[in-house]
């Protein structure tokens, strides 16, 4: 049994070495393929890989997902490896895209330029009336999302007790995947949070640890937790005023694209600094609250800026290889 599993595990490791040598970030694939190898070992699989074996593994998501789209995405992550494996084991089956039904493709996000983010915050700051907290509320909220990559739901769920203005640490509770995490913020973000809190308290807003950190400022919503619909309505108004060209696949630039932009800019900075992307990806995935690091690796193949960087790495690798052959 173990003798049958070891060759497959070795195949996985050889494939990962080859992919890394070609300039691909291998950690996302490594997590998936090693999980699959463990599954084959656990069930005592022998012989060629079949679609049945692969779909059985895909359904056994560690988060207990019952969503066929999630299963399909897991299965898709095996396909490049399985095609590679066929050259050594011709009886290997390759699953097609329809095993779990057609999988909707993730749409490319709008990646904000630095100037677009600056303009957004400046426009939010000018929201009236001048005597209200409205401007500072939305400037701080959008700035927080842009600088930390928080989901809008996570930012709006913050309580006063969750925002430590001494240490610059946010406590994010029961997020999209039912997990909690600690998010440290940059000192400039911390200063913005302190200014907002000071102005909010000076305006006489009710305060206790369980009060929402972001509150409404007008009419019947005054002092109540800031609502998702209200935030999206204000953002839509600002977007129309600013007239950004849409560079994503959605109908227009979205608040959630600030989160995507945070991730992309971080990876671009790492490339510029010569940081090992594979080493840093797990930390980034944890920081932004992804359930699986493979979700973070998605950006490398879906965002033009990062695809270009990956292509540059591949060209550099090939240049070195050609130089070595001369």
Q: Among 155, 156, 186, 152, which residue's Cα sits nearest to residue 169?
A: 186
- Is 254 considered catalytic here? no
Environment class of 57 (CB within 10 Å of its CB; exposed 0-12, middle 13-18, buried 19+): buried
Marked catalytic residue, from 45, 73, 254, 259: 259
Marked catalytic residue, from 125, 194, 256, 266: 256
Query: Can you give the three-state secondary structure of 96-144, one letter per residue?
Result: CCCECECCCCCCCCCCCCHHHHHHHHHHHHCCCCCCCCHHHHHHHHHHH
- Is 200 considered catalytic here? no
C-alpha 120/C-alpha 107 separation (Å) is 23
Marked catalytic residue, from 14, 106, 176, 218: 176
- Is 73 considered catalytic here? no
The token duo for 39 is 């599954």
Neighbours of 276 (CB within 10 A): 10
Alpha helices, DSSP H only, in the chain? Answer: 2-21, 27-43, 51-59, 68-85, 114-125, 134-148, 152-156, 187-202, 228-242, 256-273, 277-288, 293-302, 304-325
The single-letter DSSP state of residue 1 is -
Q: Among 315, 323, 302, 271, which residue's Cα sits nearest to residue 22?
A: 315
Backbone angles phi, psi at 175, to 5 degrees: -80, -160
- Is 220 considered catalytic here? no
C-alpha 76/C-alpha 68 separation (Å) is 12
- Is 176 considered catalytic here? yes
- Is 256 considered catalytic here? yes
Marked catalytic residue, from 27, 134, 290, 297: 290
Order of strands, sheet of 163-164, starting from the edge strand that comes earlier in the sequence:
163-164, 169-172, 181-184
- 122 forms bridges with which residues in the sheet? none
Marked catalytic residue, from 9, 39, 151, 197: 151
Q: Would you please indicate which residues are annotated as catalytic (active-site) residues?
A: 151, 176, 256, 259, 290, 299
């Amino acid at each position: 049994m173990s003798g049958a599993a070891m060759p497959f595990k070795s195949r996985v490791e050889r494939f990962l070495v080859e992919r890394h040598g070609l300039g691909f970030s291998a950690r996302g694939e490594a997590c998936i393929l090693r999980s699959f190898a463990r599954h084959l070992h656990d069930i005592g699989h022998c012989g060629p890989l079949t679609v049945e074996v692969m779909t059985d593994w895909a359904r056994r998501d560690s988060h207990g997902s019952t969503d066929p789209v999630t299963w399909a995405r897991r299965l898709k992550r095996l396909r490049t490896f399985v095609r590679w494996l066929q050259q050594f084991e011709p009886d290997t089956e390759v699953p097609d895209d329809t095993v779990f039904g057609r999988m909707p493709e993730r749409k490319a996000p709008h990646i904000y330029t630095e100037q677009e983010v600056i303009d957004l915050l400046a426009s939010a700051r000018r929201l009236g009336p001048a005597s209200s907290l409205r401007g500072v509320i939305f400037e701080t909220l959008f700035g927080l999302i842009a600088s930390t990559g928080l989901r809008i739901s996570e930012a709006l769920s913050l309580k006063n007790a969750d925002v430590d203005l001494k240490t610059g640490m946010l406590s994010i509770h029961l997020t999209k995947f039912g997990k909690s995490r600690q998010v440290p913020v940059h000192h400039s973000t911390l200063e913005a949070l302190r200014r907002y809190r000071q102005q909010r308290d000076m305006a006489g807003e009710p305060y206790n640890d369980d009060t929402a950190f972001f509150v409404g400022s007008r009419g019947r919503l005054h002092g109540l937790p800031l609502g998702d619909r209200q935030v999206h309505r204000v953002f839509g108004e600002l977007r129309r005023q600013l007239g950004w060209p849409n560079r994503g696949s959605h109908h227009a630039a979205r608040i959630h694209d600030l989160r995507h932009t945070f991730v992309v800019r971080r990876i671009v900075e790492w490339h510029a600094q010569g940081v090992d992307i594979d080493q840093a990806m797990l930390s980034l995935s944890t920081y932004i609250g992804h359930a699986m690091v493979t979700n973070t690796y998605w950006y490398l193949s879906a965002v033009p800026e990062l695809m270009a960087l990956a292509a540059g790495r591949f060209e550099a690798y090939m240049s070195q290889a050609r130089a070595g052959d001369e």
